[in-house]
Amino acid sequence: MHTVAILAYDGMSGFESGLAAEIFGMTELSERFSSGLTRPWYTVKLCSESAELRLLGGATVRTAYDLSDLAEADTVVIPSVRDIGDPVSSELVDAIKTADARGARLVSICSGAFALAAAGVLDGHKATTHWIYTDELRETYPGIDIDPNPLYVDNGRVLTSAGCAAGLDLCLHIVRTDHGVRVANDVARRLVISPHRAGGQAQYIETPVPEPAEDGRIAAGMAWALEHLDETITLDELAARSAMSRRSYLRQFAKATGTTPIRWLIEQRIQASLALLESSDHSIDQIAARVGFESTATFRHHFVRQMHTTPSDYRSAFTGS
């Protein structure tokens, strides 16, 4: 059973630890959902330096697990730190270092990146945190490549995310990596959240609520593209489907989604390929064509860039072949 240790600390918000506990603690899915769980799920342990904690709002929580349990976990989740200006305790730093030396997956949400940074596990890597903390993180830990834009960054074994809500996206991304698209989609439906917000999507959008008429046209074009992924789709055609000029379309798409049309289209094609790799007998070449890539080489390039593995290795992880 894969153990997920979630850090808890005095003065934290229940949402910060609760979002990870909700996803990784979901031991079964309703029979109404299609996937079911074909693999062992997760064991969740809420770990803290002290046995009794006070949460925001006056609640008191007793934890049964300490930092030694966190150090021994398969996945370590640091939801945040109490104050980015305070030093991270040497005990927590040692526990993270121990987990890292064992090859554990290390995950931070929001200001939790400061704890991973203090342990040195982000040095030389790209990482993110809530956009209001990125300058401070960059100044305090100059050895980290800080990107203030994405919702989350997946470096394989070390993953960081933006604000707390982006932690939902990252945890769901981890479920998708471990258990596949169908299970992740069922978890998302149960939680009534978006099944997939790509990590590269901007965490801060200048105009978060676009003009309705423009947003409706953008959405119409996106819906059309999703139904025609196997076809060649050009930027000019997307703009035409949204009844906009190319220049206006690019501007309005970025305002509505925080990314570019082409980047969004590539992400959708990769996501469409996952279910085919997991459950179909189609060859890699056939799947590349079915989701609209001009060549298998292009498909592999974008797949590795987005999923950090090859299509063949991804298929093997779910089929055993």
Give the position of tokens 């007998």: 281
Domain covering 211-320: architecture? Orthogonal Bundle (1.10)
Q: CA-CA distance, 145 to 148, in Å (whole number)?
A: 10
Average pLDDT over residues 83-92: 95
pTM for this predicted structure: 0.71
pLDDT, mean over the chain = 87
| CATH topology assigned to domain 3-191 | Rossmann fold (3.40.50)
What pLDDT sits at residue 313? 86
pLDDT score recorded for residue 198: 56
pLDDT at 87: 94
Question: So where are the chain's domains?
Answer: 3-191, 211-320
pLDDT single digits (tens) 39-51? 568 999 999 999 9
Give how far Cα 46 sits from Cα of 51, 104, 237, Å.
10, 16, 50
